[in-house]
Amino acid sequence: MPCWHYYSAASPDHESALAIDASRIVFGPGVLDELGDHARSLGCRRVAVFTDRRLKALEHVARARKSLQNANIDAALFDAVHVEPTDASFLEAARFAKAARVDGFVSVGGGSVIDTAKAASLYSTYPADFLDYVNKPVGAAKPIPGALPPHVACPTTCGTGSETTGIAVCDVLALKAKTGIASARLRPSLALVDPTTTHTLPAEVIAASGFDVLCHALESYTARPFDRRSKPSSPTARPMSQGANPWSDLGSAEALRLTGKYLVRAVTDGRDLEAREKLAWAATLAGVAFGNAGVHLPHGMAYAVAGLVRDFRMPGYPQDEPMVPHGVSVVLNAPSVFRFTAEACPERHIEGAAMLGVDVRGATPTDAGEIVAAALIAAMRATRVPNGLGGVGYGAADVEALTKGTIVQQRLLSNAPRDVGEPELAALFSGAMSYW
Ligand SMILES: [Fe+2]
């Protein structure tokens, strides 16, 4: 049972309200073929369709374009989305959208594609210096001046949850910093989630995206509670990442139950379509949860893990450049992190493990961190995820750079249930080098 006494509404200086910005979602086998009708009902007549070159060759993009065509909607295709987008690739996509004179946006792909469509919509609608809208401290975090055109997001992986969030993540090349833009206005108008798009994904992609889902849920569930934040300066200044709250708990709890039951099955047996489709539903629920609560340390540390990669390449992914897939860069930190955060809210960690399917009878608060870590490590081993940061090429000599690359992620670090500074981060990275 979720633990409601996590919320104490402690003092008059603290937040006592939570906001629910629910996404519009249509979920079910075959709904990608409904795209045209949905886009038309949103008022679109000519849309920019974003995807990447690999996805362009798959049937999903063809289905999306055919559906748009059937609804008499013009489509301008942008297939040059950069996997792990950058400021340059965001702006290139925005220039395309501006030149194409579109009145709506469609994204067909994973998180990189959906995030790129969000940024293209923003910068083509309200042009500004790139860093104006970017999160502090890298950018100025200026509010988006008004509404954006309709955006229908059609995810084709079961992970990022970007279709339900107002977050777009990118590398700022000149600063070698991974950061993002966060605003409720970036949230897609409609998430069109067709779980059959997961059927043909390689096992490694299911593993990476599945662990991303699991971490979205577990981080949202263990985030600093919303009522321990200071009151906002005005009602409209309430952040999207509010911290754990009774609404996000609902999605997190069910996503944990589903990933606990189906993640290993979906990876190890490509014919287990039920497991893949359940994982797609878990991804949607976890996306709604973390879009409302916010994630914390495993994601905050993942930016540096992905950004400082030297020569690791993951099977099942494009091999042309070194890359640690997002979900892998997150979960490699997770056992080390939850061993550390359990002290702040052991009951939440034990509940999280129970939702993942662990028998927690007799567990005491001092066991909490190890119980969660053991569950994660068992799932990582069963799905052949690399063994900690050492498995993707990092060693003790990299801890300082990884720490420096993470300390700037204040939006995520401050959402953790325990305070962290550089010494704590260094210990967390050291603890994540190897697990078995
Ligand atoms: Fe993620």
Q: What is the DSSP string of 293-317?
A: H---HHHHHHHHHHHT--S---TTS
Tell me, in angstroms, the distance from the centre of ligand 1 to residue 59's CA: 25
Q: How far is the CA of 212 from the centre of ligand 1 (A)?
A: 5
Q: Per-residue pLDDT for 307 more than 90?
A: no
Nearest-angstrom CA–CA distance, 168 and 148? 14
Report CA(41)–ligand 1 centroid distance (Å): 30
pLDDT of the residue at 83: 82
Distance from the CA of 341 to the center of ligand 1, in angstroms?
19
E strands present in 173-253: 177-182, 190-193
Distance from the CA of 61 to the center of ligand 1, in angstroms?
23
3-class state of residue 23 by DSSP: coil
* Cβ-Cβ contacts under 8 Å for 62 (sequence gap 6 or more): none
Report the separation in Å between the CA atom of 240 and the middle of ligand 1, taken as the mean of its atom positions. 16
- The 8-class DSSP code of residue 175 comes to G
- Identify the weakest region by mean pLDDT among 6-20, 223-237, 399-413: 6-20
CB atoms within 10 A of CB 316: 15
- Is the per-residue pLDDT at 111 higher than 70? yes
φ, ψ for residue 219 (rounded to 5)?
Answer: -70, -40
Q: How confident is the model at residue 286 (pLDDT cuts 50, 70, 90)?
A: very high
Query: Is residue 171 classed as helix, strand or coil in its secondary structure?
Result: strand
Beta carbons of 259 and 356 less than 8 angstroms apart: yes
End-to-end CA distance of the chain: 31
* Distance of CA 90 from the midpoint of ligand 1 (Å): 19
Give residue 145 CA to ligand 1 midpoint distance, Å: 27
pLDDT at 10: 63
Q: Are 182 and 411 in contact (CB under 8 A)?
A: yes
Token representation of residue 46: 């000519």
pLDDT at 9 over 80: no
For ligand 1, the distance from its centroid to the CA atom of residue 181, given in whole angstroms, is 14
C-alpha torsion 122→48→289→156, nearest 10: -150
Mean pLDDT score, 249-273? 97
Q: What value does the mean pLDDT take over residues 74-100?
A: 95
Tell me the CA–centroid distance for residue 326 and ligand 1, in Å: 7
Beta strand pairing call for 74-78 and 151-155: unpaired
Q: What is the reported pLDDT for 149? A: 98
pLDDT tops 90 at residue 73: yes
Nearest to 251 by CA among 284, 289, 219: 289
Residues near 218 by beta carbon (within 8 Å), at least 6 away in sequence: 252, 256, 334, 338, 352, 372
Ligand 1 centroid–CA 250 distance in Å is 18
Q: How close is the Cα of 298 to the center of ligand 1, in Å?
A: 9
Residue recorded with tokens 């119980």: 371
Residue 408 has pLDDT above 90, yes or no: no
Q: What is the pLDDT of residues 366-401, one digit of tens each?
A: 999 999 999 999 999 999 999 999 999 999 999 999
Asked whether residue 355 carries a pLDDT value surpassing 60, the answer given is: yes
Cα(216) to ligand 1 centroid in Å equals: 6
Q: What is the CA(8)–ligand 1 centre distance, in A?
A: 28
Counting beta carbons within 10 angstroms of the beta carbon of residue 53, is it exposed (0 to 12), middle (13 to 18) or buried (19 or more)?
exposed
For the chain, state the CA radius of gyration. Answer: 20
- Largest Cα–Cα distance in the chain? 63
Please give the distance, rounded to the nearest whole angstrom, from the Cα atom of residue 66 to the centre of ligand 1: 30
Q: What share of the chain is helix, strand, coil (3-state, %, to 5)?
A: 50, 10, 35
229 or 67, which is more confident? 67
259 Cα: distance to centroid of ligand 1 (angstroms): 14
Residues 432, 340: Cα–Cα separation, whole Å: 11
Q: How much distance in Å is there from the Cα of 302 to the middle of ligand 1?
A: 9
Q: How far is the CA of 194 from the centre of ligand 1 (A)?
A: 19
Q: Which residue has the higher pLDDT, 137 or 415?
A: 415
Report how far ligand 1's centroid is from the alpha carbon of 4 (Å): 25
Residue with tokens 């081993």: 381
The answer to whether residue 178 scores a pLDDT higher than 90 is no
Distance 146 CA to ligand 1 centre (A): 27
Percent of the chain clearing pLDDT 90 (strictly above):
81
